[in-house]
Amino acid sequence: MAKSPTHNKKLKDWVQKCARLCQPDDIVWIDGSASQKEQLEKEALESGELIQLNQERLPGCFLHRTAIDDVARTEHLTFICTRKKKDAGPNNNWMSPAAAYRKARAIFKGAMRGRTMYVIPFSMGPIGSEFSKIGVELTDSRYVVLNMLIMTRAGEAVLRQLDKGGDFTHCLHSKAELDIKKRLILHFPENNTIWSVGSGYGGNVLLGKKCLSLRIASFIAKKEKWFAEHMLVMGIESPNGHIEYIAGAFPSACGKTNLAMLLPPEGLKRKGYRIWTVGDDIAWMRVDSDGQLWAVNPETGFFGVAPGTNSHTNPTMVETVKKNTIFTNVVLKTDGTVWWEGSDGEVPREGIDWQGRPWKPGQLNSEGKAIAGAHPNSRFTTPISNCPSVSYRIDQPHGVPISAIIFGARRQHLAPLVYEAFNWQHGVFVGATMASERTAAQVGKLGEVRRDPMAMLPFCGYNMADYFRHWFAMGTRMAKVPKIFHVNWFRTDAEGKFLWPGYCDNLRVLEWILDRCNSKVYAVKTPIGYVPHPADIDKKGLEMSEGALEKLCEVNNQDWIEELKGVKKFFQQFKKDLPKELWEEYEALASRLK
Ligand code: OXD
Ligand code: MN
Ligand 1 geometric centre to CA of 86 (Å): 26
Q: Is 281 in the pocket of ligand 1 (CB under 6 A)?
A: yes
What pLDDT was estimated at residue 130? Answer: 86
Nearest CA to ligand 1 atom 5: 281
251 lines ligand 1 (CB under 6 A): no
pLDDT at residue 444 is higher than 60:
no
Question: Residue 512, SS3?
Answer: helix
What pLDDT sits at residue 432?
A: 98
Which residue CA neighbors atom 4 of ligand 1 most closely?
A: 252
Confidence tier at 252 by pLDDT (50, 70, 90): confident
Name every residue whose Cβ is closer than 8 Å to that of residue 545 and which is 6 or more positions away in sequence: none
- Tell me how far the alpha carbon of residue 256 lies from the centroid of ligand 1, in angstroms: 10
With beta carbons less than 8 A apart as the criterion, state whether 80 and 99 touch.
Answer: no
- Ligand 1 atom nearest residue 203's Cα: 3
Q: Is 73 in the pocket of ligand 1 (CB under 6 A)?
A: yes
Query: Which ligand 1 atom is at minimum distance from the Cα of 252?
Result: 4
Mutate-to-test residue for ligand 1 from 73, 329, 452, 460, highest number of ligand atoms within 8 A of CB: 73
Beta bridge partners of residue 237, listed in sequence order: 243, 274
Percent residues over pLDDT 70 in the chain: 98
**DSSP codes, 63-104:** EE---TT-SS--GGGEEE--SSGGGT-TTS-B--HHHHHHHH
Decide: residue 308, CB within 10 A, 0-12 exposed, 13-18 middle, 19+ buried: middle
Q: Which of 254, 387, 460, 504 is catalytic?
A: 254
- H/E element holding 388? none
Task: Say whether pLDDT at 2 is over 80.
Answer: no
- Return the percent helix, strand and coil in the chain, to nearest 5: 30, 25, 45
Q: Return the pLDDT at 427.
A: 98
Tens of pLDDT, residues 456-514 = 999 999 999 999 999 999 999 999 999 999 999 999 998 989 999 999 999 999 999 99
Extended beta strands in 367-413, E state:
379-383, 400-408
More confident call, 544 vs 153 = 153
Per-residue pLDDT, 441:
46
Q: Which helix (H) or strand (E) holds 224?
A: helix 217-224
Instruction: Please indicate whether residue 254 is annotated as part of the active site.
Output: yes
CB atoms within 10 A of CB 100: 20
Q: 302-386 — its CATH code?
A: 2.170.8.10
The pLDDT assigned to 82 comes to 98
The alpha carbon of 252 and the centre of ligand 2 are apart by a number of angstroms equal to: 6
Asked if pLDDT for residue 406 goes beyond 90, the answer is yes
CA separation for the pair 425, 428 (Å, rounded) = 5
Can you tell me which atom of ligand 1 is nearest the CA of 73?
6
Distance from C-alpha of 517 to C-alpha of 27, rounded to nearest angstrom? 53
The answer to whether residue 3 scores a pLDDT higher than 70 is no
**Ligand lying closest to the C-alpha of residue 328:** 1
pLDDT tens string 82-105: 999 999 999 999 999 999 999 999
Q: Name which residue leads in pLDDT, 111 or 447.
A: 111
Q: How confident is the model at residue 45 (pLDDT cuts 50, 70, 90)?
A: very high
| Residue-wise pLDDT tens digits, 282-315 | 999 999 999 999 999 999 999 999 999 999 999 9
Q: Would you state the pLDDT for residue 27?
A: 98
- Average pLDDT value for residue range 335-340: 98
Question: What is the topology classification, in CATH, of domain 228-300+394-593?
Answer: Phosphoenolpyruvate Carboxykinase; domain 3 (3.90.228)
Q: Which residues are in the CB-under-5-Å shell of ion ligand 2? A: 281
Buried/exposed code over 558-587 (b: 16+ C-beta within 10 A; e: otherwise): eebeebeeebeebbeebeeebbebbeebbe
Query: pLDDT averaged over the chain?
Result: 95
Radius of gyration of the chain (CA): 24
Q: What is the mean pLDDT of residues 387-399?
A: 96
Question: Whose Cα sits closest to atom 2 in ligand 1?
Answer: 252
For residues 235-242, average pLDDT: 93
pLDDT value for 379 = 96
Average pLDDT on 215-244 reads 96
Report the residue count for the chain.
594
Kindly list the domain boundaries of the chain, sorted by start residue: 9-30+72-224, 228-300+394-593, 302-386
Supply the pLDDT for residue 337: 98
169's enclosing H/E stretch is strand 169-174
Ligand 1 pocket mutation pick from 201, 231, 252 by most atoms within 8 angstroms of CB: 252
C-alpha of residue 95 to centroid of ligand 2, in Å: 24
- Per-residue pLDDT tens over the stretch 431-442: 999 999 875 445
Q: Which CATH superfamily is domain 9-30+72-224 in?
A: Phosphoenolpyruvate Carboxykinase, domain 1 (3.40.449.10)
What residues does 301 pair with on adjacent strands? 383
User: 253 CA distance to ligand 2 centroid (A)?
Assistant: 9
- Assess whether the C-beta atom of 203 lies below 6 angstroms from ligand 1: yes
The verdict on the CB of residue 32 being under 6 Å from ligand 1 is no
